[in-house]
Amino acid sequence: MSYRYLLHAAIFENAQKIPDHPAVRFQKEELSYLQLAKASNQLANFLISRGVKRGDRVGIYMNKNLYSAVSIYGILSAGAAYVPLDPFAPIDRLSFVINDCQIQFIITNDQKMEDIKEIISKTSLQGLIGVQSTSEIDVPSYSWEQIFSFPSSSPLIQLVEQDLAYILYTSGSTGTPKGIMHTHRSGLSFAEWAVQTYQISSEDRISNHAPLHFDLSTFDFFASAIGGATTVIIPEGFTKLPASMAKWIQDEEITIWYSVPFALIQMLERGNLESRDLSGLRWILFAGEPFPTKHLRTLMKTLPWVKFSNLYGPTETNVCTYYHVAPLPEDSDEPIPIGIVCENTEDLVVDIEGRPVAEGEIGELLIRGGTVMKGYWARPDLTEKGFYRRKMFDYCEDIFYRTGDLVQKMPDGNYKFLGRKDRQIKTRGYRVELDEVEAMLLSHPTIHEAAAYPVPDVEGSNLIEAAVILIEGESISEDDIIKHLSGRLPSYAIPTKIIISDDFPRTSTGKINRRQLQERATRRINS
């Protein structure tokens, strides 16, 4: 193949070039590129024999393991799109997703059988892959043994780069999940950029920490495969135990780690990082939410030989800006920038009317380029809202994706992230950035994590409430926190209540679940 235009092409190239090199590892077991390519073709041929056609959707529903890689590449090789289902999501949400994008087959394992039975009763699933058939299940099941009896030759399917490759479901603002559709092109545009930017090679061992339904995982699998590196999947249980996670990075000789900041902060605090031999680690990449500067500074001091990079981008655009973290000053906890736009990506900052702002002014970031999604599954209305059509070069119109994020370009050319457009709330007539409130809370030395959220008041406006987690062993009163804020925020932006708690509700991807905090507070006020 002279050039690459499909996401799964890289594993077949490597099956020729470096057949015995490990492509993926999980709990000391591995599949070489040749083994992965063969197994993927067998799955693809099986799927085609069961009637799966180009463009169909196939679900993946299990804790990650070696078969996760076979599933991803087998589904793509069959010309279908993979839809990762969060193994810990409520059944109703999973059933919604399965019905929404009409999944007929899911790849799963025995661990999930209890949940599967319930899902089958609520969906039109037609088959299970990866489990033995039993009389308890009303749909046909196919074991891996059966699948591996299929031919390992590449199926004859003509695809183009605009074909659908995967759909990632995220929470919509109304609570109904929406499916973000990515094509081979949009996935590849990001993965190829990442391989160049982080100089990924077959020497690399790349962690896979993120669940498959979280877009960070596309780096772990696709950039790794293009670079000929090894993707090392962390077992689910380890992700909850910082000491096990840190030891795992050492034992697996990880060279590139990629996760949300939360996982890194946990390891920093309870993972005993200084005692580990992490000399092989060359990059730590993080994305998903801002990394509080004081923790990042400590992490960078703990691992001084590692380079750090902040990747930014909503799932709809993969990654669109990046910032290689420069040494952090001691005397400022100013949030780090999200950096500059990636190569082959175009940025535009507009005001509320959609007019481009002058350089250095605050506005919403719009993104154009190969990494942008195809749209939301079966929601042309949402797709239309997310896309902004704009005349280009006076002769044609093209699409930008509206990130909904407020940014500001600084004199050095880096973007500063100022929060969600919709995290800007009005309280008693004043406009307040909730992210700014959080940043000020975090600037207090005893505060470890902070979340600010609006709570409706009886007068139809909003009050601001906040919850904080203190650094272990520290204590401070609500009054003292308010005193700290009063010098830093206008009085209307100071939370009316600050709850000091031991923990926060979190989303399945480890982010603070502000919506749940807000719901709790609203319930408390209404009761």
Partner 1 sequence: METQTIIQKFILDELAKGRKKTIDVDDDLLGEGIIDSLGILQLVAFIEEKFNYTVPDEDVVIENFMSVSALSHYLDQKLASKG
**By the criterion CB under 8 A, which residues form the site for partner 1?**
63, 87-88, 111, 235-244, 247, 266, 270-272, 502-504, 506, 510
Do 59 and 74 touch, CB atoms closer than 8 A?
no
Q: How far is the CB of 337 from partner 1 (least distance, A)?
A: 28
For partner 1, which is the closer residue by CB, 18 or 241? 241
**C-alpha dihedral (327, 328, 329, 331), degrees to nearest 10:** -160
> Could you tell me the two tokens for 494?
């100071």
Q: How far is the CB of 37 from partner 1 (least distance, A)?
A: 28
Burial group, residue 280, by CB count within 10 angstroms (0-12, 13-18, 19+): middle
- Interhelix angle for 434-442 vs 478-486, to 10°? 110
Do 95 and 125 touch, CB atoms closer than 8 A?
no
For partner 1, which is the closer residue by CB, 240 or 428? 240
For partner 1, which is the closer residue by CB, 394 or 502? 502
Distance CA 47, CA 106 (A): 11
Q: How far is the CB of 84 from partner 1 (least distance, A)?
A: 15
Type of residue at 459? E
Distance CA 502, CA 470 (A): 8
Q: How far is the CB of 448 from partner 1 (least distance, A)?
A: 12
Q: How far is the CB of 360 from partner 1 (least distance, A)?
A: 40
For partner 1, which is the closer residue by CB, 379 or 515? 515
Q: Which of 363, 344, 345, 343 is nearest to 354 (CA)?
A: 363
For partner 1, which is the closer residue by CB, 63 or 152? 63
Q: How far is the CB of 107 from partner 1 (least distance, A)?
A: 17
**Could you tell me the CA-to-CA distances from 137 to 134, 140, 147 in Å, in that order?**
6, 8, 19
Q: How far is the CB of 248 from partner 1 (least distance, A)?
A: 9
For partner 1, which is the closer residue by CB, 202 or 507? 507
For partner 1, which is the closer residue by CB, 87 or 288? 87
Contacts (Cβ under 8 Å, ≥6 apart) of 224: 200, 204, 206, 230, 231
